């Protein structure tokens, strides 16, 4: 056995010596230097990724010397252990070990497998705090602990069998949920114990934590240290890139047609057209703060929703936020109607007048006490208008928002009509309301608000994606769908 390790060591030495020399930062912690010693060979993808990051290029001391607007960290006092070194493997994977049930000893170092927002908070506390107020932070709970949404999830993703002439709906398996809904919302990663695996790249057998519900990068993931979130959802892997997060492709992983077609609509909008034609690889997506005009001349998702935006005189047009609904006054995403943003990121606390955990009743009455006030909504809308005003005049902006208000009103009316037809179907026993999501007419009803209503509202909000508004998941479908729902009742009636 000893001989084996000796041979391995020789082979390893030989491999390392053969490897092309990779230029490493000088001020690495000894632990990080040790990590990279092997991993530059065995997982070169992530080591090179990290080499491109600000983490590998900047010590926290240097980071804190920048003026406040230019700072990428929000910690105020320098943690002494970070003073002279850049942020490497161990600085992130070695944080808050005591909280991490996924901590294990790896070649002498105590390492956490999963780096959590709570670890990132060592240097980025404000960002994590903002995020904690968001619906994204509560993304698992908001989906799974809301009995109505949970029923929708189960009905849509469970294996269905056919027994004695009847379709039998089974509950979805965990693994399928992890790839479907929880692919975006996040899983609950826990530690079941420890296990041995033989590393695919080094061939070594190592002992590691045995993680359940892993891997997963959903934005609301529950981590083995008890925290929520996965910063890598948007700042992926080891480059922790602002550029990646500011480009719309990142948001596109979860915000896509048919249910939340934010990216699809952006691409078709004039803003997206300019970004793709002359912005994508030309503008500066890394500057902090992000200066309108100098750095970019058309917004991406991050411009309006998240980034710290300034103008040339340093005036802040919008403060940075990682509370993704923080600048929003309305929730376009219809449940089942578009409605004012909820006050809390935790939407499970909502109860509407029908006693259901929804922000509106089926008839459209708002669960007002759980939603932001009109004043708050107006204040947020003004803030968003400020962003627009870097390129557009006030009248243009007001005209744009007037159209959006009308679109919200009309698509809500279309949802109401569909709901009325569904209620009639239930009354006439053409469908039964035990599960409101399984029968064909019920699916049509869901599509009315979840696919078509939403698409039109997103298109309106982003000032133009006329084919989404008109034909593709738009008004064409909205009006066709109502006729087909009505037809469904008629046909079923005529049968009985």
Stretch 390-409 residues interacting with its own copies (CB under 8 A): 390-400, 402-403, 406-407
Residue number with CB closer to its own copies (71 or 106) = 106
Contact present, 150 and 347 (Cβ < 8 Å): no
**Which of 71, 126, 243, 366 is in the footprint of its own copies by CB under 8 A?**
243
Closest distance to its own copies from the beta carbon of 215 (Å): 5
When the beta carbons of 121 and 182 are compared against its own copies, the nearer one is 182
Binding mask 9-48 for its own copies (x = CB under 8 A): ------xx-xxx-x-----------------xxxxxxxxx
End-to-end CA distance of the chain: 78
Token pair in block for residue 234: 């948007």
DSSP SS3 for 119: helix
Residue 312 sits in the site that holds its own copies (CB under 8 A): yes
Pattern 43-72, its own copies, x by CB under 8 A:
xxxxxxx--x--------------------
Whole-angstrom CA distances from 257 to 148, 234, 398 are: 22, 19, 27
Tokens linked to 316: 């802040």
| Number of residues engaging its own copies in binding (CB under 8 A) | 145
Q: Which of 26, 76, 315, 434 binds its own copies (CB under 8 A)?
A: 315
Residues in the chain: 496
Q: What is the DSSP code (8-state) at residue 360?
A: B
> Binders of its own copies among 69-98, rule CB under 8 A?
none
The residue from 24, 64, 148, 208 that contacts its own copies (CB under 8 A) is 208
Cα distance between residue 199 and residue 122, in whole Å: 31
Q: Is 474 in the site for its own copies (CB under 8 A)?
A: yes
* Residue 417 touches its own copies, criterion: CB under 8 A: yes
Q: Which of residues 252-311 bind its own copies (CB under 8 A)?
A: 252-254, 256-259, 267-270, 272-274, 276-278, 280-282, 291-294, 297-298, 311
Q: What is the DSSP string of 308-341?
A: -EE-TT--EEE---S-TTTT-SEE-S-SSS-EEP
CB of 40 to its own copies, least distance (A): 7
**Distance of alpha carbon 242 from alpha carbon 230, whole angstroms:** 15
Q: Does 129 bind its own copies (CB under 8 A)?
A: no
Query: What DSSP assignment string belongs to 199-244?
Result: -TTT--EEEEEEEES-S---TT-B-TTS-B--GGGTS-TTT--HHH
User: Which of 148, 244, 356, 377 is the binder for its own copies (CB under 8 A)?
Assistant: 244
Helices 475-495 and 440-447, packing angle to 10 deg: 160
Site for its own copies in 358-387 (CB under 8 A): 382, 385-386
Q: Are strands 290-291 and 205-212 parallel, antiparallel or unpaired?
A: unpaired
Radius of gyration of the chain (CA): 26
User: Considering only 28-36, 88-96, 324-332, 480-488, which stretch makes contact with its own copies by CB under 8 A?
Assistant: 480-488
Looking at residues 450 to 469 of the shown chain, list those that interact with its own copies (rule: CB under 8 A): 451, 456, 459-460, 464-467, 469
- Whether the CB-CB separation of 143 and 357 falls below 8 Å is answered with no
Smaller CB distance to its own copies: residue 60 or 92? 92
**Do 442 and 152 touch, CB atoms closer than 8 A?**
no
By C-beta, is 358 or 446 nearer to its own copies?
Answer: 446
Categorise residue 463: left if φ over 0, alpha if ψ from -120 to 50, beta otherwise: left
In the bound complex, what is the minimum distance in angstroms from residue 254's beta carbon to its own copies? 6
Interface of this chain with its own copies, residues 136 to 175, rule: CB under 8 A: 155-162, 165, 167, 169, 172-173, 175
319 binds its own copies (CB under 8 A): no
């Amino acid at each position: 056995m000893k001989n084996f390790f000796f041979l391995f060591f020789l082979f390893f030495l030989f491999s390392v010596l053969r490897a092309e020399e990779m230029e490493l930062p000088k001020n690495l912690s000894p632990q990080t230097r040790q990590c990279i010693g092997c991993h530059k060979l065995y997982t070169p993808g992530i080591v090179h990724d990290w080499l491109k990051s600000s983490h590998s290029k900047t010590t926290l001391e240097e980071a804190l010397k920048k003026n406040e607007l230019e700072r990428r960290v929000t910690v105020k006092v320098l943690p002494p252990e970070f003073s002279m070194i850049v942020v490497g493997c161990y600085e992130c994977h070695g944080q808050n070990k005591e909280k991490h049930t996924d901590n294990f000893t790896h070649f002498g170092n105590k390492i956490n497998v999963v780096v959590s927002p709570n670890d990132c908070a060592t240097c980025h506390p404000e960002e994590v705090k903002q995020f904690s107020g968001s619906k994204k932070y509560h993304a698992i709970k908001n989906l799974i602990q809301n009995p109505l949404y949970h029923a929708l999830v189960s009905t849509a993703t469970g294996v269905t069998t056919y027994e004695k002439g009847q379709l039998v709906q089974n509950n979805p398996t965990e693994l399928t949920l992890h790839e479907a809904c929880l692919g975006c919302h996040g899983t609950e990663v826990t530690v079941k114990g420890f296990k041995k695996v033989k590393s695919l790249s080094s061939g070594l057998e190592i002992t590691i934590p045995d993680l359940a519900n892993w891997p997963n990068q959903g934005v609301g993931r529950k981590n083995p240290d008890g925290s929520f979130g996965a910063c890598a959802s948007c700042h992926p892997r080891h480059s922790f890139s602002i550029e990646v997060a500011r480009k719309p492709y990142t948001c596109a992983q979860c915000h896509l047609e048919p249910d939340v077609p934010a990216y699809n609509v952006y691409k078709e909008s004039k803003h997206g057209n300019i970004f793709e034609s002359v912005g994508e690889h030309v503008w500066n997506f890394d500057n902090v703060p992000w200066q309108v005009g100098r750095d970019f001349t058309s917004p991406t998702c991050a411009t309006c929703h998240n980034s710290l935006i300034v103008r040339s005189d340093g005036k802040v047009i919008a403060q940075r936020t990682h509370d993704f609904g923080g600048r929003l006054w309305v929730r376009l995403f219809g449940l089942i109607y578009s409605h004012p943003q909820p006050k809390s990121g935790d939407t499970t606390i909502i109860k509407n007048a029908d006693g259901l955990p929804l922000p509106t009743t089926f008839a459209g009455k708002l669960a007002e006490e759980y939603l932001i006030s009109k004043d708050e909504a107006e204040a947020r809308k003004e803030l968003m208008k400020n962003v627009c005003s870097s390129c557009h005049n006030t009248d243009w902006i007001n005209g744009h928002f007037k159209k959006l208000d009308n679109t919200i009103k009309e698509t809500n009316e279309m949802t109401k009509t569909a709901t009325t037809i569904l209620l009639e179907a239930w009354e006439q026993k053409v469908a039964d309301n035990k599960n409101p999501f399984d029968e064909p007419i019920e699916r049509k009803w869901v599509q009315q608000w979840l696919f078509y209503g939403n698409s039109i509202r997103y298109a309106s909000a982003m000032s133009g994606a006329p084919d989404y508004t008109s034909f593709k998941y738009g008004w064409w479908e909205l009006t066709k769908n109502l006729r087909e729902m009505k037809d469904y009742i008629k046909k079923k009636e005529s049968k009985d």
